[in-house]
Amino acid sequence: MNTTSSTTSQATRWRLVLGKKVENELGNCGLGGQVALDSDQANLDAALEQIYGSDEQQSSGNRSSNNNRFSNQRSAGLGSSAPHLAKWLGDIRSYFDQEVVAIIQKDAIERKGLRQLLFEPETLAQVTPNIELVGTLMSLKNMVPDRAKDAAREIVRTVVEDIMRRMRSGIEQAVRGAINRSRHSPFRSLPNLDWKRTIQRNLKNYNREMKVVIPESFHFFARQNRRKEWNIILCMDQSGSMADSVVYGGVCGAIFSSIPALSTHVVVFDTEVVDLTPQCHDPVDLLFGIQLGGGTDINRAVKYCEGLVTQPRKTIFVLITDLYEGGNQSELVTRMERLSSSGVKSICLLALADSGSPSYDENLAKKFANVGVPSFACTPKMLPTMLEGVLKGQDLFRLAQTCGTKKNQKT
């Protein structure tokens, strides 16, 4: 049977997906027998074989996917050489786009022996920074040797700066839109000019010939008030399942703390409670102050945060947790009810991440809803909308419908 170029291409793709051991079997499928890989394809195959190759004792290669991922039938074969691993990371980066590299890289990191290799500076210099890798480094931070700490921090800083670049403008605009835009001042300054109100009040002076509005009066926003107008308490569950949310939350805490109108507290917890507010000026320091893993005592954390409330009606309490409580659940619900009744605007973010619907304790979320605290997952993109709505006094449950991917309504 003659093999056309199209069947050869198809056979090559199957060969790369399934691995070396299926070469002979491809002929039985009518795909032209053995496949000869060119040099680039051979290099690609070798790079994949390091992670997804089968053991000699196992049946022929299984790189078949689950959710478009290759299965992990054996431990990675990269040995103990950090330079070898660095070269491998460079190879896969040359063959795949960033999203696929992140998946393969994550599979490699999770395999026995490779985490230690990531603590070599030459290896860390080759990895593709992403939020999952930051979570891994945070969870293993106490194991990072001194020689690799600078490289690890640089990876975290790269991801943090990317998140801040995407989120800072939206959050700052949300705060200004909710706070500063509600007050006006006779102080005349172009940056404080209220264009919308000035135009609206002077529409009667529109000159049709010149096609311009000739204003008789100008209106200005109030100057930036140095007084802290709102208190934001960000309370984050640092259990391992909340890694992405903690990274986004930590960066948001740093952004909040840089806004003059906001007084910001950042608190993290497992079975212990740690106040990281002094580290807010540097989000990398803040994230390295977080220890992922451990148990969960939400009640203890909320008790601590209650002590940070001085003006309930000017306080926003954001609890980031999946609600799997290991402490006193009934006392926790009582505390949340007390905060809500006092005027504190309290919400529970089941996740602050780009990923899909979170796993969470639905029963506890319903109890929160019954005491006036909505629970929902929020993407970082929707966070400014949520924040502005809270500052403007919008209904929290409607905000959950607008901003959330999973929410609990009043029952």
Please indicate, yes or no, if residue 167 is contained in any of the structural domains.
Answer: no
Please indicate, yes or no, if residue 70 is contained in any of the structural domains.
Answer: yes
Please indicate, yes or no, if residue 72 is contained in any of the structural domains.
Answer: yes
Residue with structure tokens 């999770």?
110
Domain shared by 210 and 97, yes or no: no
Domain shared by 141 and 254, yes or no: no
HSE toward the beta carbon, residue 385, CA cutoff 13 A: 12
* pLDDT at residue 397, as a whole number: 92
Please indicate, yes or no, if residue 174 is contained in any of the structural domains.
Answer: no
Domain shared by 63 and 120, yes or no: yes
Split into its structural domains, the chain has a count of: 3
Domain shared by 133 and 250, yes or no: no
Q: Cα separation of 190 and 385, whole Å?
A: 27
Please indicate, yes or no, if residue 354 is contained in any of the structural domains.
Answer: yes
Q: Do 37 and 62 form a contact (C-beta atoms < 8 A)?
A: no
Between β-strands 404-407 and 375-378, what pairing exists: parallel, antiparallel or unpaired? Answer: antiparallel
Domain shared by 189 and 289, yes or no: no
Domain shared by 206 and 114, yes or no: no
* pLDDT at residue 386, as a whole number: 92
Q: Cα separation of 131 and 159, whole Å?
A: 7
Q: Would the pTM count as exceeding 0.75?
A: no
* Domain final residue, candidates 118, 147, 176: 147
Please indicate, yes or no, if residue 153 is contained in any of the structural domains.
Answer: no
Distances (CA, A) of 321 to 249, 269, 378: 11, 10, 12
Rounded to 10 deg, the angle between the 362-370 and 329-342 helix axes is 30
pLDDT tens by residue, the chain, 411 residues: 343 444 446 777 777 776 666 666 665 565 554 566 777 777 777 777 766 765 443 333 333 333 333 333 333 344 444 445 556 666 776 777 767 776 777 777 665 456 666 777 777 777 778 888 888 788 777 777 888 888 888 989 999 999 999 999 999 888 887 875 544 445 555 656 777 778 888 888 888 888 888 888 777 665 544 467 899 999 999 987 788 899 999 999 999 999 988 999 999 999 999 999 999 999 998 998 888 777 899 999 999 999 999 999 999 999 999 999 999 999 999 999 999 999 999 999 999 988 767 789 999 999 999 999 999 999 999 999 999 999 988 999 998 888 876 555 554
Domain shared by 274 and 338, yes or no: yes
Distances (CA, A) of 208 to 140, 201, 204, 211, 308: 68, 17, 11, 5, 57
Domain shared by 234 and 209, yes or no: no
Domain shared by 189 and 105, yes or no: no
| Element holding 82 (H helix, E strand) | helix 82-95
Give the domain extent around 193.
184-221
* Domain final residue, candidates 127, 147, 167: 147
Domain shared by 274 and 208, yes or no: no
* Domain final residue, candidates 147, 176, 200: 147
Please indicate, yes or no, if residue 214 is contained in any of the structural domains.
Answer: yes
Please indicate, yes or no, if residue 1 is contained in any of the structural domains.
Answer: no
* pLDDT at residue 227, as a whole number: 62
Domain shared by 17 and 131, yes or no: yes
Outline where 179-292 has alpha helix (H): 195-201, 243-257, 283-288
Domain shared by 143 and 253, yes or no: no
Asked whether the CA dihedral 24, 28, 29, 35 is positive or negative, the reply is positive
